[in-house]
Structures are given as C-alpha cells and as structure tokens.
Amino acid sequence: DAKTTQPNSMESNEEEPVHLPCNHSTISGTDYIHWYRQLPSQGPEYVIHGLTSNVNNRMASLAIAEDRKSSTLILHRATLRDAAVYYCILIQTGANNLFFGTGTRLTVIP
Amino acid sequence: GAGVSQSPSNKVTEKGKDVELRCDPISGHTALYWYRQSLGQGLEFLIYFQGNSAPDKSGLPSDRFSAERTGGSVSTLTIQRTQQEDSAVYLCASSLVDRVSYGYTFGSGTRLTVV
C-alpha cells in the first residue's frame, strides 16, 4: 500500500492560514488523495480530496504537486475549532483498506 | 439517519467477557468498514463489507473477533473473551460504492475498556 508521511504536529495562530504538508512519494496513478480530520472524541471527518488538480471547497483547499508526490491542505483562516488531527490518505478504487497514519496534530493558538 | 450511528458510545467490560458493538450506517451506503484506534495511534483496519459480497476480514487481529452485517445495513462487531489489549475506540464508517469520489462517513466510535 502506498503510504503517506506527515509532520507529527504543527501550530498556527488563530485567523492565520495553515499549510499542512503530506508526502506520498510512492503514489500510483490511480490513487486519490483524501484528507480527513479528527476532532477530540469524534470519528474522522472528511475534509477534501483530489486526484491531479487543485481543489477548493468550503472547508479547505488542496494543492497537489505536479508530480503528485506531495500535497498540501490549506486552511485559509484557522479557528479554534480547526484544532484536530489531520490525516492525509491515499485511496484506490477497489481498495478496501484505508491506511491512516498518525496524522498531524494541529494546535491553534488564540 | 443523517450520520453513522454507533452504540454504545462507551463500554466497560471485564476481561474474558464477550462484547457486541453496533453500527448503523447511512441509508443507501453499501460499503461499511470497522476500524479500531488505540490511544494516540492511527486507525487500524478490521473488516469491510460491500453489498452482498463476502466481507474482507483481512484486518481482524484474531479469531476472537467477528462481524456480521444483516440485510446490507446494520453491522455488529463481536469480540469474544475480551483481553486488555482489546481496549480501544472502535470506529465504523460507511460509504457509497464510489468511495474515492464521495469519501467516507465515520461514526463517533465506541470506546471499549477491558478491565
């Protein structure tokens, strides 16, 4: 299974942008890049996903490198409610198992 | 329902007892997954159901673990003769067939503590 590498933790000041990096150097052509986040005492929550092009939604933006070996989740203005563990995972059509690593724990400083 | 529902939210059991954990997926989601998450760890895949196909049980850690899904909807994860190392949060997720495009919806989990 293609794996991802993320920093263990990051900090951001409230109302500032946050860029959460993810490396996936062994990504295959059919892997989709998904981001989830997990707030305390909750299950993971879908944030955004993409294949090759950058993506925007109401929660975040996803910037995908041209070679697809890395991606960055962008929170445009961090709020205290964005404090969570953020997971970058690769998903193949037909794959049953999602490999969640330990993710990046984002701390938002008021 | 609007989301994936799991029950109970918390379960404390004595070592050696059997436990059953329940998952109600989103209506219309044909795929259902069970994961577990130990304290401070990532998610560990346990089992996957897709429609009427045979489940993928490749993640079950031992034969004490089993799961079933009745009528393509509700799923029950059973752990027999629980051990202390079974203590974890057990998460259920469901998705449409096209999960790469629509993502997964997780429940809030069942926190199992074996004492």
Least confident range from A20-24, A60-64, A76-80, B96-100: namely B96-100
Residue A1 has pLDDT above 70, yes or no: no
Which residue would you say has higher pLDDT here, A97 or A60? A60
Residue A60, pLDDT score:
95
Percent of chain B with pLDDT over 70: 99
Residue A6, pLDDT score:
95
The structure tokens listed for A46 are: 């879908």
Other C-beta atoms closer than 10 Å to the C-beta of A41 total 10
CA distances (Å), A72 to each of A33, A55, A68, A89, B105, in order?
A: 10, 11, 11, 12, 22
Residue A102, pLDDT score:
79
Residue B30 has pLDDT above 80, yes or no: yes
| DSSP secondary structure, A21-58, as one string | EEE-TT--TTEEEEEEEE-TTS--EEEEEESSS-EE-S
pLDDT digits (tens, 9 = 90+) for B45-80: 999 998 888 899 999 999 999 999 988 799 999 999
CA dihedral B87, B65, A38, B99 (to 10 degrees): 180
Q: Is B43–A32 a contact, with Cβ atoms under 8 angstroms apart?
A: no
The chain-wide mean pLDDT, for chain A, equals 92
Distance CA B3, CA B94 (A): 9
Residue A2, pLDDT score:
59
pLDDT digits (tens, 9 = 90+) for B93-113: 999 877 777 788 999 999 999
Interface of B with A (CB under 8 A): 4, 33, 35, 40-43, 45, 48, 50, 56, 58-59, 91, 93, 99-101, 103-109
Distance CA B61, CA B64 (A): 8
User: Residue B113: CA atoms inside 13 Å, Cβ hemisphere, count?
Assistant: 5
Residue A41, pLDDT score:
86
Residues of chain B positioned with their CB less than 8 A from the CB of A87: 42
Residue B4 has pLDDT above 60, yes or no: yes
Other C-beta atoms closer than 10 Å to the C-beta of A76 total 12
| Beta bridge partner(s), residue A12 | A108
Residue A48, pLDDT score:
94
pLDDT band, very low/low/confident/very high, at A7 (cuts 50, 70, 90): very high
Nearest Cα residue to A42 out of A13, A81, A9: A81
